[in-house]
Chains A and B, each alone.
Chain A
Amino acid sequence: MARKPNPPRVAALIIGAGASGAAAAKVLTERGLKVTALEKGPWRTRETFGGDELANINRYNLWPDPLLNPRTVRESADQESTVDLFCPVPQMVGGGTVHWQGWLPRFTEDDFRIRSVVGDLPGATLVDWPISYADIEPYYSKVEWAFGVSGEAGANAFEGPRSRGFPCPPMPVSRYAEKFHQGCAALGWNSFQLPQAALSRPFNGRPATVVSAFAQQHGDPTGTRSSALNVFVPDALRTGRYELRPDSYVREITLDAGGRARGAVYEDADGDTVEQEADVVILACGAVESARLLLLSRSGRFPNGLANGSDLVGRNATFHEYSAAVGVFEDPIYAWAGGGYVSASSFQFYGHEDSRGHVSGGHIAAAGVGIPLPINWSLPGRPSWGAEAKRIDREYFNHSMAVAMVLHDMPQHDNRVDLDENVRDAWDLPVARITLKPHANDLAQGRFLIDRGADILEAAGASQIQKVYIDRITGNCSHQHGTTRMGDDPASSVLDRWCRAHEVDNLYVVDGGPFPTATGANPTLTIMANAWRVAEHIADQGGAG
């Protein structure tokens, strides 16, 4: 392959330009460091996004194409793996924030000390985090204000103390959120408008977010949503110190003679292979791909993958799971308004209670059923064709909603990401193989949360309530964590509390990989806050790692 001259060395190299990579880039460049970012996917502008359900939901316009980026999955190590679109996230500048609706709740104080709160759970590898809620709280506020989040301080009765309110009031109340509030109120449960990555009013020079039906899983043609693409990437570019190279696929992290990270070898947009050297290398590819890249980076010093002397890279992977109780109402819900995810939430069953017979919990929230647009909406049990299918479409499309849960799945040593040497992607590299078996606690907790969702629907006056329990974890949340756990003990963690590899002192991971446990809430606010925290620490160290 042709070898171009290598580009000049930079202070920091960030692999990935999604939520975490863009947050780190903003902080480092604003602190004066020169940063180069390598993003596997394209750099799409808002003009390339639109209100096209078929393209965006069904034809991989934004989702990764499984023919180019397959993954494989199996339940245990003695099984053959099968190709599966497991836990996909858009691979492009902006990452998952390009097409999300952006539910941004904070984690609770107990999330950071979960092992101390719940005790030992056989089969699970629950641990306390090496950082506390108080450590991350200042960065929650920084992200909420810099990124642009709409919400109401104090509305979530189970949230930890906050140093500052939200920059914008909550988003308007959708009809499905209104039903959720009514149900919770009837039951005496706390509910609140879910903090969201959108602007309910103009803020910081940006206009209010356009509330379209083409929102969840659609790109934003108006540029008004809060996303890495709309906010943190432009912030970093404004410094003049951020060089973002799209269509640049990293094949390997390289080492210098001393065993420190030297840089990354990648295939650039022209198909040429070059190496970018840097003082500090920061992985921000998402927990699955960051683990995969470490495992692909084999050397004499690290024969089992970079920073993997402990054999922990890829292990303790957690993915949440999304499922729901669904019901129908006499009056119209119009769940496509706001794309089905301008929502209300309750943390009433988020924290741990011994009396439930299972560990921990997750948040539950109002939503449309699936993607509640005409092609992809459905009800459980609906036949796939014929007069009855048509009748159900006609009668219930505008009258149905879900109360969904985010499952707090338990970390387990054998639930892991590694390389599948038998399946290669379009760049001829082994793909990520997910080995995953739900813990009994995951199934019990899921049933409990979905039952509570059904309670809310019933209390709000719904009929035909159906509970869709989970029997396995399919990766349908696109949330991923745990593959490069942070911790104080190198024997039980990949990264230290600053998300620096125990074994390579200028190598960092800032996506969901460092999360020691999954928690029961959407992770991206915390991913960005943690990336901000780590980037400030790197800058405080003078960038030398």
Chain B
Amino acid sequence: MADRFFDEHQRATVEAAMARIIPTDDAPGACEAGTIDFLDRYLSGLGQIYARPDGSGFEELTGRRAEAWQRRLDIIRARYVAGIAALDDRSQARFGRAFAELAPDQQDTLLTELEPRPAELAPGSGEEAPPLQQTKAEIDLEFFPLLCLHTRQGFYADPIYGGNRDRVGWELVGFPGPASLAEVHSGRFSTLAWFAERQPEQEGDSRRGA
């Protein structure tokens, strides 16, 4: 399948972990958003790295850019394959079953053990991260922080990438979002309606203090 990288068991394992990372409650979570489809498509190859900005499909990568992305994907794929196997090993040792077959609280127990200790935390990788301007390089992340990042991306990215199905991520947090990438590309998407209700007169300035 063109949009798949994982085998069925790997896919079920990752999907189960994602369901704990953004759980479903009275509002949709990772399952309903299709974050597993987002990740499987990402890992499937170079064909869906960058959507065309008008939403008409995906860019074709060439040259050094394509080489870099192939290197990155190879690193990330290997991290997933090893991480999933290690998670199942841990699950079998502790509970005698594969991770995907565990109860949610058992899954949480194992995932908690995979959290990086504070001393190991890289900047931008999650807890204690300052509100930085740039994100941490994906390939520097271990399996579980990487999975958390990709779950979040699949939940909140533009739906063109296969997750955020029916815009459930955006609706959860109250982001109106554009109807499509084309709406931004054509300049129709403006956020002025969400600016302050009262705008100052252009000439006088009542805000000036000391």
Interface residues of A (CB under 8 A from B): 47-55, 57-59, 61, 63, 65-68, 85, 88, 152, 154-155, 157, 169, 172-175, 177-178, 181, 184-185, 187-192, 210-214, 217, 221-222, 224, 322-324, 326, 332, 334, 336-338, 342, 348, 369-371, 373-376, 378-387, 389-390, 393-394, 397-398, 402, 426, 468, 470, 474, 476-478
Contact = CB atoms under 8 A, between A and B. Distances in A.
A50 B181 CA distance: 7
A334 B195 CA distance: 8
Chain A interface main SS type: loop
Contacts of A322: 132-133
A54 B158 contact: yes
Contacts of B71: 67
B119 interface: no
A169 B90 CA distance: 62
A385 B21 contact: yes
Given A169-B202, A370-B133, A383 B195 contact: no
Interface string B149-182: 0011101111001000000011011110110010
B195 A65 contact: no
B196 A157 contact: no
B163 to A, nearest CB: 10
Interface stretch (B6-14, B93-101, B121-129): B121-129
Contacts of B53: 47-52, 221
A68 B199 contact: no
21 contacts: A51-B53, A52-B51, A54-B153, A58-B153, A65-B65, A173-B198, A175-B196, A181-B207, A192-B208, A212-B184, A221-B187, A336-B191, A373-B175, A374-B175, A381-B128, A384-B125, A384-B145, A385-B111, A394-B27, A394-B173, A397-B175
Contacts of A181: 207
B154 to A, nearest CB: 9
Contact of B185 (A50, A58, A402): A50
Contact of A61 (B50, B130, B137, B195): B50
The 8 closest A-B pairs by CB, nearest first: A50-B53, A51-B184, A384-B126, A374-B156, A397-B173, A337-B194, A334-B194, A337-B191
A375 B157 contact: yes
Interface of B: 20-23, 25, 27, 29, 49-55, 64-65, 67-68, 71-72, 108, 111, 115, 123, 125-135, 137-139, 145, 148, 151-153, 155-158, 161, 169-170, 172-175, 177-178, 181, 183-187, 189-192, 194-196, 198-200, 202, 205, 207-210
A213 B158 contact: no
A478 B208 contact: no
A508 B156 CA distance: 46
Contacts of B152: 375
Contacts of B145: 384
B195 A172 contact: yes
Given A88-B134, A212-B189, A375-B156, A393 B172 contact: yes
Given A157-B208, A385-B151, A55 B50 contact: yes
A348 B210 contact: yes
A460 to B, nearest CB: 13
B27 to A, nearest CB: 7
Nearest to A53: B157
Given A192-B207, A474-B123, A370 B68 contact: no
A63 B108 contact: no
Contacts of A177: 196
A382 B127 contact: yes
A49 B25 CA distance: 36
Contacts of B156: 53, 373-375
Contact of A191 (B52, B189, B207): B207
Nearest to B173: A397
Contact of B133 (A334, A371, A373, A379): A371
Given A210-B190, A221-B185, A386-B23, A374 B173 contact: yes
A53 B159 CA distance: 11
B68 A386 contact: no
A173 B207 CA distance: 11
Contacts of A191: 207-209
Contacts of A63: 134
Contact of A224 (B25, B50, B55, B187): B187
Contacts of B128: 380-381
A356 B36 CA distance: 53
Contact of A67 (B68, B115, B125, B192): B68
A155 B134 CA distance: 31
Contacts of B186: 221
B186 to A, nearest CB: 8
Contacts of A384: 115, 125-127, 145, 148
B137 A66 contact: yes
Contacts of A332: 174
B161 to A, nearest CB: 6
B19 to A, nearest CB: 11
A453 B42 CA distance: 40
B133 A476 contact: yes
Given A173-B196, A173-B199, A52 B158 contact: yes
A157 B127 contact: no
